[in-house]
């Protein structure tokens, strides 16, 4: 199963953009790239996902490299509430949520 690599921690200032990187060099052609985040003392929550094209939603944007070996989650204006652990995960097209590999993610600190 393909794995992802993320920095352990990152820091940002409030109202500034944040770019959270993820490397997934062993991604297969049918793997979807998913991002979840986990706020302190809560369960993870879905943020965004994509396959090949860049994606935008109300929470964030996802930029996917042309070779799909890396991606970047973009928070356009960080708020204090965005302080969380962000997980980058690959999900096989077959839809096997049961085969998701959850790493340690990136712990994002947001300074006021």
**Binding-site ranges for other proteins (CB under 8 A):** 32, 34, 36, 41-46, 49-51, 53, 55, 87, 91, 93-98, 100-105
Q: How far is the CB of 13 from other proteins (least distance, A)?
A: 28
List residues bridging with 25 in a β-sheet: none
**Tokens in use for 47?**
């943020």
Residue 51 or 80: the one with the smaller Cβ distance to other proteins is 51
Pairing of strands 9-13, 106-111: parallel
Tokens of 106: 């990136």
- Report in angstroms how near the CB of residue 61 gets to other proteins at its nearest: 14
């Amino acid at each position: 199963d393909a794995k992802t690599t993320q920095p352990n921690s990152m820091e940002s200032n409030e109202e500034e953009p944040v770019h959270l990187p993820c490397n997934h060099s062993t991604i297969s052609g049918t793997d979807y790239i998913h991002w979840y985040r986990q706020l302190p003392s809560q369960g993870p929550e879905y943020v965004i996902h994509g396959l090949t094209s860049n994606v935008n939603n109300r929470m964030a944007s996802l930029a996917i490299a042309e070779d799909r070996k890396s991606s970047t989650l973009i928070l356009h204006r960080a708020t204090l509430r965005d302080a969380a652990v962000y997980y980058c995960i690959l999900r096989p097209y077959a839809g096997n949520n049961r085969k998701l590999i959850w790493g340690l993610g990136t712990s994002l600190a947001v300074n006021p």
